[in-house]
Amino acid sequence: MIEYWHNPRCSKSRQGLALLEEKGARLTVRRYLEEPPSLAELTSAWEALGRPPAAEMMRTGEKVFRELGLARSDADDKLLAAMSENPILIERPLALKGTRAVIGRPPERLLDLL
């Protein structure tokens, strides 16, 4: 089962969801802006991504990133906490399966979980 963190207003997120559905993937869709992940869930996702710099799983161009005075070079724990408190900062789409995760940019990367 793939857990798909989805924002229906995002074209890449919609494309990724359609791609996985087309391939017959078993999914649970989580609208993460309506049901934000906890800090523990974000940390687990970060670990499943292979513990990249946390900034790589963030939307650093979002206005709130600047308003919070964040920088790509900030400590991972600080950036993960910021995403937990401001889920709009989470890069989308993000898909998790077991101990693995993928950010669907481009959407075809999601196929790595199948």
Tens digits of residue pLDDT in 1-26: 999 999 999 999 999 999 999 999 99
φ, ψ at 108 (rounded to 5°) = -60, -20
Any idea which residues carry the catalytic annotation? 10
CA-based nearest residue to 109, from 6, 3, 20: 20
CA-based nearest residue to 45, from 9, 89, 86, 90: 90
Please name the residue that has the structure tokens 């074209």.
Answer: 11
pLDDT on residue 5: 98
φ, ψ at 27 (rounded to 5°) = -130, 150
pLDDT on residue 19: 97
The pLDDT tens digits along the chain (114 residues) read 999 999 999 999 999 999 999 999 999 999 999 999 999 999 999 999 999 999 999 999 999 999 999 999 999 999 999 999 999 999 999 999 999 999 999 999 999 999
Distance CA 107, CA 89 (A): 18
